[in-house]
Amino acid sequence: MVSVGVLASGRGSNFQAIVEHQRLGVFQGVDVSVLIYNYPEAPVKHIAEKHGIANHLVGHKNVDRVEFERQIMSILDSSEVELVCLAGWDRIVGSEFFRKYRWKVMNIHPALLPSFGWKGLNARYVHEAALEYGVKITGCTVFFVDVSVEKGPIILQHPVRVLKSELELFKNRREDAIQSLSDRVLIHEHRIYSKAIQLYADRRLRVYEAVTSGKEAQANRVVSIDLHDDWEKKWNERQRIFIESQKTAWGAKAVEAAEELI
């Protein structure tokens, strides 16, 4: 059993989706054991309370960053957490935290990294930038956290087509266009994050160094995924119940729009 700790700062929609995968029995060998949040008013705490998940407030204001992270690590240790998942966590991971949980901290970003992954670009601003650039394809990325912002070995990605109607809407009703694209990407965020967690729990992920060729050769960290058998087929079968719950929550048409073939 892999114990998972989640760090979140806001409403917690990705945390909710992870918890739903546990509640619906999609996960195997995964226990979402603790939530840590850093704002007293963060709505995410209510999700943990509703589902009986241990939750702790660790405020970051007026606290040294090293001490802040040590408090978090102490809670994670007491819950015997092996995998840490950032879900809308608005703090940068420090070097001490990274060393302790090297390749055991995941995050999700609402774009196809490395595109739209620069510092300060998060949440709605990612989708705004995608629409401003007029890209035809966007999506979401789950990755292992490195010490740099929105960088690290990529685990999973899922593409989402930007609709022509969203690009047209963006000219006069920017917020409506941004919300439309955000919702369609979020539907897939809620699926692939839990898939990455299950891959980790099943020991299917390995980070290795890949050296690029050429005059300026450098080492890049790459995630290898072991899918030599019917793992993915079994996962898709189990996750079907979560996808049906999405149709209830979002509406069947919204989910179908998010699933449009590229």
Active site residues: 109
Q: Are 119 and 149 in contact (CB under 8 A)?
A: yes
**Rounded Cα gap, residues 140 and 111, in angstroms:** 4
Q: Are 42 and 55 in contact (CB under 8 A)?
A: no
- Output b/e per residue, 158-192; b: 16+ Cβ within 10 A: bebbbbeebbebbeeeeeebbebbbebbbbbbbbb
Cα separations (Å) of 129 from 104, 115, 117?
30, 10, 10
DSSP 11: S
Cα separations (Å) of 19 from 27, 80, 114, 155, 214?
10, 18, 28, 20, 45
Phi, psi (rounded to 5 degrees) for 49: -60, -40
Q: Given phi > 0 = left and psi -120 to 50 = alpha, else beta, which region is 103?
A: left
